[in-house]
Amino acid sequence: MPMYPILFKLGSFELFTYGLMMALGVLAGLVAVNFEAKRYGWDRDQMTRLVVWVFLMGLLGSRVVYVFTRMNEPNIDLVSIAFNLRAGFVYYGGLLASWLFLIWYVRRYKMPFWPVMDTFAYGICIGLAIGRIGCLLGGCCYGTPTDLPWGVIMANERQLGHLHPTQLYEFLVLVIMFVPLWLRRTRKRYEGEITVWFVGVYAIARYVLEIYRGDLIRGYVIDEVMTTSQFISVPMLVVAVWLHFKLRGRRIKSGARAA
């Protein structure tokens, strides 16, 4: 399967596939959020601005965590790494940063907390999924060697041979997550349920997927034992379970559901 890090060139202009898929991911997330905003009767302009801010904070968070994972490398130029926007993003860093900003924003402007969090869970889920296609086509976040028939060759890592398409694995996991969560939106048992399931299931899936990751730049907390993303997955799962037991008794009142 060929990779396309650069979709096309026009003079000195280069359209990077990763950036394009990232933009499409934001657009898909925006559509999902605005669909729910309309259903709830929220200010859609405000929600659109919030989507943009959440994306930007996620972008910043993914860069910060990526730089953090490179700090122990000898003779590393952290400044050049930090400002090289063509590569070097840790999805989990972006996910955490976007959630933290969203929590602050919702509380700051006194928006309905859990309904908004659930709404953004849809947007973040589908946005991350599409972004992973950008990783696949761009040739980053690749897997370990495999003899399976769907193994892929990364454009910049041809010497590694056929690798697990971990980017595609995560795309499929996120899409499979998104569909039942979306269908559940009008039948959830308590506000916050969508957020809880998204965070919990993604934490488990990401921990498992890291086993098949082969790229060295993702970083380890314990060398060759636990990656940075696996380390983050553990408290995320704990938080999701804790929130489930904390929120499940708060039933949605009859007539309080969005139409």
pLDDT range class, residue 78, cuts 50, 70, 90: low
Non-local CB neighbours of 154 within 8 Å, separated by 6+ positions = 3, 139, 140, 142, 160, 163
- Summarize pLDDT for 161-180 with one digit per residue, the tens: 999 999 999 999 999 999 99
Mean of pLDDT over the chain:
86
Q: What is the pLDDT of residue 86?
A: 55
pLDDT range class, residue 102, cuts 50, 70, 90: very high
- Summarize pLDDT for 11-52 with one digit per residue, the tens: 777 777 888 888 999 999 999 999 999 999 999 999 999 999
* SS3 at position 109: coil
E strand map for the chain: 6-10, 13-16, 220-222, 226-227
Which of 127, 137, 208, 218 lies closest to 175, judged by CA? Answer: 127
In this prediction the pTM is 0.86
Instruction: Name the maximum alpha-carbon separation found in the chain.
Output: 62
